[in-house]
Amino acid sequence: MDAGISPGQSPAPQDFAQIFRLIGGYRISQALRVAVELGIPDHLAAGPRHCDDLATTTGSHAPTLYRLLRFLAGAGLLDETSPKQFALTPLGSTLRADIPASICPVVRLWLSESHWQSWSHLLHSVQTGQHAFDHAHGTGVFDYLREDAELSAIFNATMTTSSARLANALLKHYDFHGIGRIVDIGGGHGFTLTTILADHPTMQGVLFDLPDVVAGASLEAIGGTNRCEIIGGSFFETVPADADAYILKQIIHDWDDDQSLAILRNVRVQCQDMLGFC
Ligand SMILES: C[S@@+](CC[C@H](N)C(=O)[O-])C[C@H]1O[C@@H](n2cnc3c(N)ncnc32)[C@H](O)[C@@H]1O
C-alpha cells in the first residue's frame, strides 16, 4: 500500500495546509464558543453591525473582538461587509439562539470547561481504557451535572435539541401503532416521548430519568400530565413496569458493557410478562 510520502520527500503543500487545519481545529472550536457565549450571532440577527458597537453591547475588548470576528469570517461564519462591519453568513446564522432546535446548547456543552478539560485527558483514556471525564474531574459526568445546575440545564437543552432533529425521522420510520403504554428510559426533559404521544392520541407514556432531571420536564406538547406520568429514579435500580414498549435513546453508549447489561436486565425484568419469559 502506498504510504503517500517517499523517504526524503516533503509533504505536498496542500497536505501541510490540511494537517495544520486539523491540528488547529481547537482554535476554531473555541472561537465559536466565545461567539456563542457573547451572543454575537443573535446580535447580528437583525443585520450587519460595526465591531466597536458589538464590543460595547457584549462588554468586550474592541481590538481583540475585532480579531475574533475576522477569524470567524475566515471560518465562513461571518462576512466583513465593509471595514470593521460584520454580517452573519447563512452558516453563521445556524448559531443563533432564537431559532427552532438551536445548536447553541450543543456548542455550550461540548465546548464547556468540563468537556474541554476531559478531552485534554484523551491520551489517558486511550492508554488505560478509563473515562477521560472521570479522570479529569474525579467524578462521572452525571454526578458532575447534578452539582452544576447551569451545565445541567445546558446538557438537557442539548438533548432536547438533538431529539428535535430526529423526531420527524423517528415518527416516519418506526411504527408505534398498537402500543398502549410506552416508557422512555433516560428520557431527559421528555421531547421524544411527548412527540410520540402527540402523534398517537390514545397512547399513555411514562417519562423516567434521574429525579433532578425529570424535575425540569416539559409535557407542553401533549397538554400536561393527563397522558404522561413522570417518574424519577435510577435505571441501575429498577425501571417502571407495565409497559408495552421501552425506549432507550442515546443511553447505552454512555456506559461500559457491565453497566449496559445492568440497565438492559432491569428492562428485561419488567418485560417478562409481556414477552412470556423469565
Ligand atoms: C445522553 S442523555 C439522552 C437523553 C434522551 N434519551 C435523549 O435521547 O435526548 C442520557 C440520559 O440518561 C439519563 N441518566 C443518566 N444516568 C441515569 C440513571 N442512573 N437513571 C436514569 N437516567 C439516567 C441522563 O439524565 C440523561 O437524560
Reported as a pLDDT band with limits 50, 70 and 90, residue 224 is confident
Least confident stretch, 35-49, 88-102, 188-202, 212-226 = 212-226
- Domain 23-93 - what CATH class? mainly alpha
Reported as a pLDDT band with limits 50, 70 and 90, residue 226 is confident
Out of 141, 159, 218, 238, mutate this one to test ligand 1's pocket (max ligand atoms within 8 Å of CB): namely: 159
Out of 209, 248, 253, mutate this one to test ligand 1's pocket (max ligand atoms within 8 Å of CB): namely: 209
Q: 153 CB less than 6 Å from ligand 1?
A: no
Backbone angles phi, psi at 239, to 5 degrees: -130, 160
Q: What is the mean pLDDT of residues 199-227?
A: 91
Helices and strands per DSSP (H, E), number in the chain: 15, 7
Reported as a pLDDT band with limits 50, 70 and 90, residue 278 is very low
| Closest to 235 in 3D by CA, of 215, 200, 259 | 259
Active site residues: 253
Whether 117 contacts 128, CB under 8 Å: no
Residue that is written with C-alpha cell 484523551 in the block: 122
Q: Work out the mean pLDDT of the chain and round it to a whole number.
A: 94
Higher pLDDT: 262 or 224? It is: 262
Q: What is the mean pLDDT of residues 162-174?
A: 93
- Domain 174-275 - what CATH class? alpha beta
Ligand 1 center–CA 12 separation, angstroms: 46
Q: Where are the beta strands (DSSP E) in 23-83?
A: 49-50, 78-82
Q: What is the pLDDT of residues 75-133, one digit of tens each?
A: 999 999 999 999 999 999 999 999 988 999 999 999 999 999 999 999 999 999 999 99
| Closest to 235 in 3D by CA, of 218, 205, 215, 211 | 211
The CA-atom distances, in angstroms, between 7 and each of 88, 108, 111 are 46, 44, 39
Taking the alpha carbons of 52, 100, 152, 92 in that order, is the dihedral positive or negative?
negative
Q: Is the pLDDT of residue 245 over 80?
A: yes
Out of 115, 213, 238, 265, mutate this one to test ligand 1's pocket (max ligand atoms within 8 Å of CB): namely: 213
Residue 5 is given by DSSP the state S
Length of the chain: 278
Cell digits of residue 39: 451572543
Q: 211 CB less than 6 Å from ligand 1?
A: no
Q: What is the CA radius of gyration of the chain?
A: 23
pLDDT value, residue 5: 78
Ligand 1 center–CA 188 separation, angstroms: 6
Ligand 1 center–CA 187 separation, angstroms: 6
Closest-lying ligand 1 atom to the alpha carbon of residue 251 = 10
Reported as a pLDDT band with limits 50, 70 and 90, residue 192 is very high
pLDDT value, residue 6: 81
Cell digits of residue 8: 526524503
Cell digits of residue 174: 418506526
The full set of domain ranges for the chain reads 23-93, 100-171, 174-275
